[in-house]
């Protein structure tokens, strides 16, 4: 599983995808492993999602980078509704927010960070390349 990392000053977001190809017809067919380091806090979690949702998310990230408009969000359809969202502003900054928890919801992390638009390009391109097999 390849890691896709977005790293800025004091903030790291890492994605790893495990797609279960025999389950593509189901609403949950992918495990997204997420690692977040934000300031002095960190969390790792696994989100149960659909690869089609990941593909739409990637397209939204690329659009944010290109136009500084719209938003991009990955959210579990079931379970704990863990999520990660990106939104731009007109000055070239991207806000990332999210909620992660462990499998029993004993530990939770809500995070928020702002970074420059240029940090998004490589992250979105890496994810796009990784998922190009699944463009449905």
Report if pTM > 0.75. Answer: yes
Residue 100 pLDDT > 60, yes or no? yes
Q: How many structural domains is the chain composed of?
A: 1
Domain CATH for 64? 2.30.31
| Residue 135 pLDDT | 67
Residue 42 pLDDT > 80, yes or no? yes
Q: How far apart are CA 75 and CA 122, in angstroms?
A: 22
Residue 118 pLDDT > 70, yes or no? yes
> What is the average pLDDT across 125-136?
84
Domain that residue 128 falls in: 3-134
| Residue 70 pLDDT | 97
Closest CA to 74 of 92, 93, 96, 90: 96
| Phi, psi (rounded to 5 degrees) for 5 | -120, 130
CB-CB contact of 3 with 18 (8 Å): no
């Amino acid at each position: 599983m390849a890691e896709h990392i977005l790293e800025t000053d004091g903030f790291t977001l890492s994605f790893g995808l495990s797609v279960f190809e025999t389950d593509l017809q189901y609403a949950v067919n992918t495990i997204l492993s997420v690692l977040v380091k934000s300031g002095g806090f960190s969390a790792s979690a696994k989100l149960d999602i659909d690869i089609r949702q990941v593909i739409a998310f990637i397209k939204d990230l690329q659009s944010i980078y290109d136009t500084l408009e719209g938003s991009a969000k990955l959210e579990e359809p079931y379970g704990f509704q863990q999520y990660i969202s990106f939104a731009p502003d007109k000055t070239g900054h991207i806000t990332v927010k999210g909620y992660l928890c462990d499998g029993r919801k004993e530990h939770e992390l809500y995070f928020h960070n702002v970074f420059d638009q240029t940090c998004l390009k490589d992250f979105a391109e890496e994810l796009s390349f990784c998922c190009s097999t699944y463009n449905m």
